[in-house]
Structure 1
Amino acid sequence: MPPWLQLMQESLAPLLWAALVFTIPLTLASFVLGLALGLLTAVARLFAPRPLSDIARFYVWVIRGTPLLVQLFVIFYGLPSLGILLDAFPAALIGFTLNVGAYSSEIVRAAISAVPRGQWEAAYSIGMSWSQAMRRTVLPQATRVAIPPLSNTFISLVKDTSLAAAVTVPELFQTAQRIVATTYEPLILYIEAALIYLALSSVLSSLQVRLERRFARYGGFLEART
C-alpha cells in the first residue's frame, strides 16, 4: 500500500469521529436555533412596531455586513475582555446561530412577503386570528418558497463550520490540522478533509432535491384545493 494511502486510511477514523461528534452537531444545532431566530427576526421586521423592527433590521445589517470569522473572534477572544468567558463550542454555536439567523431571516421575510395578500384576507374571513392565519395559512405556503434557499444555507453551514477551528473547536478541519502537525503531510490530509466535506454536501444536496419535490407536490395539492 502506498504511504499516502496508508496515511489516509489511518487518519480516516479520527476525521470521521470529529465530524460526527463536533461538525454535524454544531451544524444541526446552529441551523435549528438560527432558523428560529431568523423566523422571529423576519416577523419583527414585517409586523412588529417600529422600535422592534429597527432593532431586527440593525441586527441583520451588522451580521450580514461583517465576516463570520470576525464574529467568531469577537465572541471567543473579545468577550473575555468584558468578563464573559465562553468555552469554544458554545462560542462557536452562538456565532453560527447569529449568522444563520440573520441570513435566514431575509429568506423567511421574502417567503412570507411572497404569499398573496388574498390568503391573509381569506383566513381572516373565516374567523382566524393573526397567529392562526400565520400558522395555518401563510407559513405552510411560505415554507415551500423558502425550502430551496434554506437548504442551500444549511449546506453552506456544513462547510462554514470549518471556521470553528479558528476558535479551537476540535471539529473535522482542526482535527486534520492536528494530524498535519504530526505527519507533515498537509496536501494529503487537507484533500481527505475536503473529500469528507464533499461527501456530506453531496448527501445533503440529494436530500434537498427530494425535499423540494415533496414540497412541490404539497404545493400542487394546496393549489388544487384552492
Structure 2
Amino acid sequence: MMLNFDTEFFISLFPIILKYVKVTLKLSIVSLICALLLATIIALVIYFKVKILSPFLKIWVSIFRGTPLVTQLFFIYFGLAQVIPFLKNMNGLTAAILGLSLNASAHMSETLRGAISSVDKGQIEACLSIGMTNLRAMTRVVLPQAMRVAIPALSNSFVDIIKGSAMAFTIGVTELMGAAQMEGASNYKFFETFTAVMLAYWIITSIFGQLQKILEKKLNSSYS
C-alpha cells in the first residue's frame, strides 16, 4: 500500500500555522520571563536557607518537578478556579502562562541554585567584608557569574517551555497544536497536519538553539 501524502494540502497548512506561531511565542516568552523571576527568588531563598520559606519552597519545587505539566494546567484552570473567586473568570491563555511559569520555575530554580553554589563562597565573604549586603553581593557579583554557568540549562528550559506550550490546547488555547488539531479534525488528514506542526516546532526550537550558542559565545568571550 502506497503512502497517500497530500503535498498540496501539506504546503497549504503553513500559512494557517504561521498565524498561530505568534500565540505560541507570546505564551512561551511571557512564561519564560515570569519563570525566570520566580526561579531567581526561589533559588535565593533556598540558597540562603530562609526560615519557613525555604522548606516550603523545597516542597513546592518537588511538586512541580514531580507531576506532569498537563495535570498542573488542569489543576489551575479547572481546579483553582472553583475555590479561588478571582480566578473564576481566568481565560485559558492566562492559565497556560501561569502553569508553564510555575512548572518551568521549579526546574530553573534548581539550575540557578546549582550555578550560584558553583561560585566561590570566598567572593561573597570578600563582598561582605567591604560592607556589601548579601543581596547586593548576590546581584552585583555572584548572579552575573552564575548566569553564565546556567545559560545552557536555562536555554534548554526555554525550549521545554516552547514544547510544553503545546499542552495549552487542552485548556482551550488555540496555538500551534490547537490549530493543528482543528485542521486535522476538519480535513481528516492528520498525517500531513501533524507532520507540518512538528516541522514548525522543530524550526522554532532550532532557531532558539542557534541564539543560545551566540549568547554563550558572547558571554564566554567577555570572561576570556
Q: What TM-score results when the alignment is normalised by the length of structure 1? A: 0.92
Q: How does 1:188-203 map to 2 (within 5 A)?
A: 188-203=192-207
Partner of 1:70: 71
Indicate the residue corresponding to 2:161 in structure 1: 157
Q: Look up the match of 1:208.
A: 212
Q: Please state how far the C-alpha of 1:123 moved relative to its aligned partner.
A: 1.6
What is the CA–CA distance in structure 2 between the aligned matches of 1:121 and 1:87, rounded to whole Å? 47
Amino acid at match of 1:30: S
- In structure 2, the residue matched to 1:4 is 6
Pick one of 3, 20, 25 that aligns with 1:18: 20
Describe the superposition over 1:96-141 as per-residue Cα deviations: whole angstroms up to 9, x where unpaired: 0100111110011111111001111222233322222111110111
Matches for 1:37-48 after TM superposition, within 5 Å: 37-48=38-49
- State how far apart, in whole Å, the 2-side matches of 1:80 and 1:46 are: 33
Q: Percent identity?
A: 35
Contact kept in structure 1, 2:5 and 2:192, CA below 8 Å = no
**In the alignment, residue 41 of structure 2 is paired with which amino acid?**
L
Distance 1:80 1:34 in 2: 21
Q: CA deviation at 1:48?
A: 4.3
Return the alpha-carbon distance in structure 2 between the equivalents of residues 206 and 158 of structure 1.
Answer: 15
The answer on whether the counterparts of 1:107 and 1:149 sit within 8 Å (CA) in structure 2 is yes
Q: In the aligned structure 2, how far is the partner of 1:188 from the partner of 1:164?
A: 21
Deviation at 1:79, TM superposition (A): 2.4
Can you list the C-alpha shifts for 1:119-176, whole angstroms capped at 9, x where unaligned? 1122223332222211111011101111010001111211111011111100001101
* 5+ residue gaps, structure 2: none
Gaps of 5+ in 1: 221-226
CA deviations 1:164-205 (Å, max 9, x no partner) are 111110000110110111111000000000000000011111
Question: TM-score scaled to structure 2, two decimals?
Answer: 0.93
Q: Secondary structure at the match of 1:42?
A: helix
